[in-house]
Amino acid sequence: MPTVSSETRNQIITLVRDFVQNEVTPVAQQYDNEDVYPHELVEHMRSLGLFGITIPEKYGGLGLDHTTLAIIFEELSKGWMSVSGVIGTHLVMASIIAEHGTEEQKQSFLPRMASGDVRGSLGLTEPEAGSDVANIQVTAIRDQDDYVVNGNKMFITNGEHGNAVALIAKTNPSADPPQRGISCLIVEKPTEGFTVGQHIDKLGYRGLDTVELIFENARVPSRNLVGGKEGLGLRQALGALESGRINIAARAVGVATAAFEASMSYAQKRQTFGKTISQHQAIQIKLADMATKIEAARLLTYEAARKRDAGQRVDLEAGMAKLFASEICGEVTLEAMRIHGGYGYIKEYPVERYYRDAPLMIIGEGTNEIQKLVIARRLLEKHQV
């Protein structure tokens, strides 16, 4: 696994922080209010190489480790969580190809993904299948040199402005158990029969396209079957989601940190009863709890990233980090709103946006209820008697 020197990491993080401070923060509220895709910010992210964060250098990426990835996602989310989503599922798709694709697939896709020419998404969730992945209904049936794809995917980030999707589909609908019949195909735009359906109007995570994808007899070349072998799609997707859960945890830490920093600033300026509210014990207790929980979430996230970089299995650690960080983000953003009082409830202040963005991390990349089941199963495996 790649290792990054402290000097290199600090240089990269400084660039990202400057980008967030100078480019993202000044326009985030406007983009969020208008629910407009941030084309200019995305182009700047391309110029920084952020589409290739974890893509190996031999394929044109930055080849960074997951610890650096986590810090980058934290910094981006402090400015506006939606911009991290532009590269979040993109890097999940890149991970699937880098870890499981054939050399021909790596050469074909990864350099274009690293440059941002190909912007990826993950086609996993369906109208009737979210966490129950084995119940997906989209089919991809082999017909000579193509797969014919039919069905709908739902809640797909980057589904419109992205131009490729790692599609999880059933290549053998009669397989028993069902997961043995699930495969992963890379579908690029334009493909006849592959269209974007409804646009989903969301509570938070605004400015970033979340859509339905429709496949009606869409023909995908068989060479785009990841790894060149059927029946491995679920394993390929779930392995990449370990990385995805690290970036979700990091996003949660970033949003929570932004809410905390806003609260610290406000508490030292706002006066009641002749003194700043930071001098009231009730507010001090809130700030202490917020800071402690954020730091604990950050350390869980970095530990999961460290073990991922060491090549270890991290479904337990990534699940714990995602679970804890996202729940803490929900708590901290609500406390930040309470500290701000009425001002926290209006769009003039970013606190209400942090509060609206927080539930995405609780639901996304596997609901927290599912995370608890994953954690429990792994704990029972580790402590089997």
Residues annotated as catalytic (active site), given as ranges = 365
Minimal CA–CA distance to 217: which of 193, 244, 189, 243? 193
Distances, alpha carbon 76 to alpha carbons 16, 73, 166, 240, 309, in Å: 7, 5, 24, 21, 21
- For the four alpha carbons of 323, 238, 45 and 201, in that order, the dihedral sign comes to negative
Question: Of 87, 74, 8, which Cα lies nearest the Cα of 299?
Answer: 74
Cα(51)–Cα(59) distance, integer angstroms: 12
- Please name the residues in contact with 203: beta carbons below 8 A apart, sequence gap of 6 or more: 356, 359
Candidates 169, 245, 161; CA nearest to 210 is: 161
Distance between alpha carbon 47 and the CA centroid of its chain, in Å?
A: 20
Q: Is 146 helix (H, G, I), strand (E, B) or coil?
A: strand
